[in-house]
Structure 1
Amino acid sequence: MAAKSVLCRFSSPKRAIFQQGPLSIARLSNSSGKGKSPSNDTLFTPLILPLKEYKNETTELTRARLLYQSRKRGMLENGLLLSSFAAKHLDEFNEKQLSLYDKLINEPTNDWDIYYWITGAQPTPEYLDNEVMKMLKEFVKNENRTSRLTQPDL
């Protein structure tokens, strides 16, 4: 039985498919047991998982959680960029901005998507194109050439 396509589904009535792109695995098995390279028509359609709700969380606790989550990303590049951004801006954010930042760093299931959006390599999805994303994109440009080789101290 040849595998022709792979579809990743996380059922959530609140979310919809936000992009399609090439399948990112090297080989698919077919009935003969030999590997088969995926063709261009093989698509992976990631879905966005619903945000975990933190009930009765104070604003200060939200800031602390987001600072920690900004530091502990799945890839070093995002950890450096997001932790530096969070250290600089989280204390200034109001509750709406904190919510937008929480959505930005916690809803997408692929860290590479976040990286490509904030660096401008790919267009930002409409639902994430907001004031916090604009601030983050401006921060990533690093026009003052600030060193960001390590995460800021806590």
Structure 2
Amino acid sequence: MLSARLVLREIPRCNMLLQNRINIPPSILNYSSSSKVNDKEDDVFLRVKVQPIVRENESLDNKRARLIYQSRKRGILETDLLLSRFAAAYLKTMTPEELDEYDSLLNELDWDIYYWATRNYRTSPLPEKWKNSKILERLQEFSQNKEKEILRMPTLDRFK
């Protein structure tokens, strides 16, 4: 079994190889580690955050369609359910500025979005840029499921 120290030592070298091989800017490949997390030594956290694609002159209809897809197809069931239901409820009525903010939120990592939406800041601290976010505030309110509904993926006709 590889030790965490070996993995940590090799990550920068792998980053260099990836950058040289496929021309990835250094700012995209990030990792962090801690010598002591949850009272365990040598835990390694690999956080790869890919920079979002810059979309110029995207129509509001195309943006809404893309955000529907990105809300439904996250890869983590909990986040899929939460964001797809939120998008079905609010995406139609969002202003262009709110759509931009929601688009920016969707560029965050899935578990971070989930923990922020459920106000679990011990697991994933809320960054300064999201502390006054109206969209995140609305998502947090929505995530409480005050109606106590059984959560299911909304059908696509709910987005029309």
Counterpart of 1:126 in structure 2 is 128
The offset of 1:90, in angstroms, is 0.7
TM-score (norm 2): 0.69
Q: Decide whether aligned partners of structure 1 residues 126 and 150 sit closer, same or farther in structure 2, where only a CA change above 3 A counts.
A: same
Matched, 1:92 2:93: yes
Counterpart of 1:11 in structure 2 is 26
Counterpart of 1:78 in structure 2 is 79
Q: Which runs of 5+ in 2 are unaligned?
A: 16-24
Q: Which runs of 5+ in 1 are unaligned?
A: 24-38
Alignment-mate amino acid for residue 115 of structure 2? Y
TM-score (norm 1): 0.72
% identity of equivalent residues: 36
Counterpart of 1:141 in structure 2 is 144
Alignment-mate amino acid for residue 26 of structure 2? S
Distance of 2:86 and 2:34 partners within structure 1: 29
Matched, 1:68 2:66: no
Distance of 1:22 and 1:80 partners within structure 2: 34
Contact 2:33/2:43 (<8 A) preserved: no
The offset of 1:51, in angstroms, is 1.5
Q: 1 or 2, which has the higher helix percentage?
A: 2
Counterpart of 1:116 in structure 2 is 115
Matched, 1:50 2:51: yes
Aligned pairs, number: 136
Moved over 2 A (4+): 5-13, 19-23, 39-49, 149-154
Worse overlay, 130-139 or 4-13:
4-13
Distance of 2:116 and 2:34 partners within structure 1: 15
What RMSD over aligned residues (CA atoms) do the two structures have, in Å? 3.2
The offset of 1:120, in angstroms, is 1.4
The offset of 1:12, in angstroms, is 2.2
Q: Greater relative contact order: 1 or 2 (C-alpha under 8 angstroms, separation 6 or more)?
A: 1
Q: Secondary structure of the equivalent of 1:97?
A: helix
